[in-house]
Structure 1
């Protein structure tokens, strides 16, 4: 019986200032778009991605980073869990109920 393939994983977190769901990119930046996320099926590479994320936790850019399983379908990354599908789709409250975005102090 062949070995089951190891699923791809990406790092997700929440941006500290706004609380937005974000994903770690290959360049080490954070994006709101799952399809721009860095992915790997190698445990060592996944650990390295988490270490990068922890540096941004220390710098107070993000909170709560963790690995999420994803799959690629027709070149598009898709989460494997219902929870992550909801997180990737964006806020689940009507726009008129959301708080106004924070404005940087001048």
Structure 2
């Protein structure tokens, strides 16, 4: 069986307290903007970064590697699920969304 070639990834998770989708930056911060995320093009580095994310259960939950592509403004999602997560929660008019 042949292995599929590694494709670029970002580390994503949900912020523990707010539940927002977040992405890991190159300088070990969590951002709510995927364009600021670290785009990882090496499989071993991706695994190390994921382990780093998983080691922060007091900050984030559900960390995983998501396929992404480079753009002029930073990483962008490839799959629908990730594109959907960049837009925030899908429910309306409560909490911090009530003012929008």
- The TM-score with structure 2 as length reference comes to 0.83
**What residue number does 2:95 align with?**
99
**What residue number does 1:22 align with?**
22
**What residue number does 1:67 align with?**
65
Structure index of larger Rg: 1
After superposition, give the CA deviation of every residue in 1:37-89 in whole Å (9 maximum; x if it has no partner): 011121110011111101212xx111000000001233342111101100011
**How do residues 1-106 of structure 1 correspond to structure 2 at under 5 angstroms?**
6-57=6-57, 60-94=58-92, 96=93, 98-99=94-95
Aligned residues: 94
Cα RMSD of the aligned pairs, angstroms, is: 1.9
Structure 2: tracts of 5 or more residues without a match: none
- The TM-score with structure 1 as length reference comes to 0.79
Structure 1: tracts of 5 or more residues without a match: 102-106
